[in-house]
Structure 1
C-alpha cells in the first residue's frame, strides 16, 4: 500500500510539474500578424471547457499556453498505427504526420486526417483527458477499498478506524437505504459490488470535475458516452437477472384487458419499450444534470468577459456578482454530485428488484 501511495504522489507531481508549453514562435507570429483582438465567444468558451481534450489545459497567459500533453493513439486507413504526444499539435495550431485537430465541422475538437480532400476520422484510442481522469479515479478507488478490505481482515471484530471508519457509514448507507429496500433482503448481496462501484465512481468523478486543477477539471460524468456505458451495464445485469415473472409481465401483462394485447399487442410493446427506455433515462439524466451544472458556472464566468468588452469598469462590476454566483453554484454542485450518484444507484437497484421480484 505504501508503494501505491508513492506511485500516486509521483504521478500527480509529474503531471503537475511537467507542463507542455505551446510553440512560442508559432503563437507569437500568429498574434504579431493580426493585432486585432478576437471577440469573446461564450458558446465556444463553454463548449471547449466541458468537452473532452487531447491535453490537460492548465492556464493561458497572453501568448503562452500551459498544459499537460497526453498520448495520441490513432490507426489510419492509409498509414497505419501512430502514437505521439498531443504537444505535437501545439494546442491545435499545427498538423503532425498528416493528423490535426479539426477546428470546425462535425469533427470539431477531434483528431482527423485529410484523405482525397475530405476530413476523415482515424480509429482513435487516444488517452484523452476524460480517459486519464477515469484511470486516476479508478486507482484512487482501488486504493481506498483495498485499504478498507485489509483493515476489516486485520481488525476483525474491532471498531473501525481511520479510512475504515470513514467508508463504513457510506457502504452501510448503500446497503441499508438502497440495496435492501429496492432488491430485497434475500437477493441484494450479489448486486452490492456493482452498486457500490457505480455509487462511488460517479460521486468521485462528480467531485473531481468541480476541482479546476489536475487531477480534477475533467467532465467525466458529463460525457454521454461514459454515462451510456454505465447505463448499458445496468441494462445487461437487469436483463440477465430477469426471472420468469419479470418476462411474463412484459409480454403478457397480467390484469390488462385482452383487447390491449390482441390483435395488436399494444401493452407488450409498451412494456418492451420500457426495457430500453429505463437505461436511456439513466444515461441522459446523469449526463444532462452534470453538464448543465458546469454550463451554468461557465455562463456566469462568461458574463465577466461579455460586459468587459463593452466597458472595463462594467466588467469589473459584473465580476463581483458573477464570482458570488459561481461560488453559490459550486456549493450547490457539491450536493448535486452526491444526489446524482444516489439517484443512478437507486434506480439501478430498483430495476434489479423489478427483474428478480417473485410472483405474489
Structure 2
C-alpha cells in the first residue's frame, strides 16, 4: 500500500511539472514564464476545469479543459452558457444587448451593467464530487453493517469505523458532553469528512483548491457560528451581556469585547483552514517554478524529491486541518450549551 502511494505521488509530481510549463496566464513561451501567474492560476477558482496545455505543430498552444456552466443574471435576464464560449478568455459572449467577457478570471459586462454571477465553477464542481464520494462511501459502509450485523468490520468499513469512533469519542463527546452530543454529531461528523475529502482532492494534480478558497472556509465557519449562537443557553448569553462578578461600569467595556469575540471565533476558523491549505499549495508550486525559472531539467530531480516529501506532509495537513476545524467547532458549541452550576453563598 505504501509503495503504491509513493509511486502515485511521484507520478503526480511529474504531472505537476508538465502542467506548470504550460500554465495559463500571460505566458507565450518559456521566456515569458511567470511563477506568479502560474501559482495564482493553480490556487484560484475558474470557470472551466483545466487539465493541461500542449503545443500544436503550427506552434500554437491548445488548451485541454472541461467547460462548466456559466449562470449570470443581468438586468433581470438569466443567461446560461458553457464557459467554452469564451475560448479561454479570447472571445466575448453576446446575449442580446449584453456582452460578457473574462477579465483576470472574472466575468464582467462590457457595457458596465451589474452582473450577478451564479456560475458552476471549478471549486463548486469539486465540492459536488466530494459530496458524491462521501455519499458512496458511507452508503456502502451502512449497507455493510446491515449485511453483517454484529460482525467485525472488513474492507472499507474497517477503515472508516475507527475514524468515526475517533471523531465521536475523542473530539465531539469530550467537548459537548454525553447528554447532548447526539444533536450535533451529524453536523460535526459531516464537517470533518467534508473538509478532509476536499483537502485531499486539492492535492490531486489539476484538482480544485476548494479548501484554499476564502468563500469555502467562510461558509463553513458561518455554519459553526450560527449553530453555536442559536444553541447558546441563558448562561452563554448572560456571560456576554451580564458577566457575573463584573462591576456594572466594566460591562460597558466587556460587552463589546464579548460581542467581538462572537465574530473572532469563526473568523479564526476561516483564516486557519484557508491559510494552511493555501500555503501548502504555494510552497509546492514555488518549488516547481524553480525548474522553469532556471531552465534546468537536472534541477527537477532534487526538486522532485522535495515536492514528494512536502506532498506527504500535505496529506497529514489535510487530515490535521479537518481535525482542528471540527475540534474547535465542537469546543465553541460545547461552551455555548454548557450548564453552569450556580452556588449561593450561605451565611
Alignment TM class, shorter chain as reference: 0.7 to 0.9
CA-CA distance at 1:233 after TM superposition: 0.6
Question: 1:101 aligns to what?
Answer: 102
CA-CA distance at 1:40 after TM superposition: 1.7
TM-score w.r.t. length of structure 1: 0.81
Question: 1:76 aligns to what?
Answer: 74
Question: 2:63 aligns to what?
Answer: 65
How many residues align? The count is 307
Which structure has more relative contact order (CA 8 Å, sep 6+)? It is: 2
Question: 2:43 aligns to what?
Answer: 50
Q: 1:325 aligns with which of 298, 306, 312?
A: 306
Greater shift, 47-56 or 35-44, is seen at 35-44
Question: 1:241 aligns to what?
Answer: 231
Pairs within 5 Å for 1:148-227: 148-213=141-206, 217-227=207-217
- Is this contact kept in 1: 2:30–2:292, CA < 8 A? no
Q: In the aligned structure 2, how far is the partner of 1:341 from the partner of 1:113?
A: 38
* Cα distance change of structure 1 residues 172 and 37 upon mapping to structure 2, 3 Å threshold: closer
- Is this contact kept in 2: 1:111–1:121, CA < 8 A? no
Q: In the aligned structure 1, how far is the partner of 2:272 from the partner of 2:30?
A: 39
TM-score w.r.t. length of structure 2: 0.84
CA-CA distance at 1:39 after TM superposition: 1.8
Question: 2:84 aligns to what?
Answer: 87
Question: 1:335 aligns to what?
Answer: 316
CA-CA distance at 1:259 after TM superposition: 4.4
> What is the DSSP-based 3-state SS (H/G/I as helix, E as strand, rest coil) of the residue aligned with 2:244?
coil
Task: Render the CA deviation track for 1:4-53: whole Å, top value 9, x for unaligned.
Answer: xxxxxxxxxxxxxxxxxxxxxxxxxxxxxx99865222111111111001
Question: 1:271 aligns to what?
Answer: 258
CA root-mean-square deviation:
1.9
Q: In the aligned structure 2, how far is the partner of 1:162 from the partner of 1:321?
A: 37
- Is this contact kept in 1: 2:74–2:116, CA < 8 A? yes
> What is the DSSP-based 3-state SS (H/G/I as helix, E as strand, rest coil) of the residue aligned with 1:210?
coil
Identify unmatched segments of 5+ residues in structure 2.
1-26, 56-60, 342-347
Q: In the aligned structure 1, how far is the partner of 2:324 from the partner of 2:106?
A: 32
* Cα distance change of structure 1 residues 36 and 233 upon mapping to structure 2, 3 Å threshold: closer
CA-CA distance at 1:220 after TM superposition: 0.6
- Is this contact kept in 1: 2:101–2:110, CA < 8 A? no
Q: In the aligned structure 2, how far is the partner of 1:72 from the partner of 1:272?
A: 39
Question: 2:326 aligns to what?
Answer: 345
Question: 1:131 aligns to what?
Answer: 124
- Is this contact kept in 2: 1:205–1:221, CA < 8 A? yes
Q: Structure 1 residue runs of 4+, over 4 Å off?
A: 34-38
Task: Render the CA deviation track for 1:110-146: whole Å, top value 9, x for unaligned.
Answer: 111211xx4x552111111111111111011111112
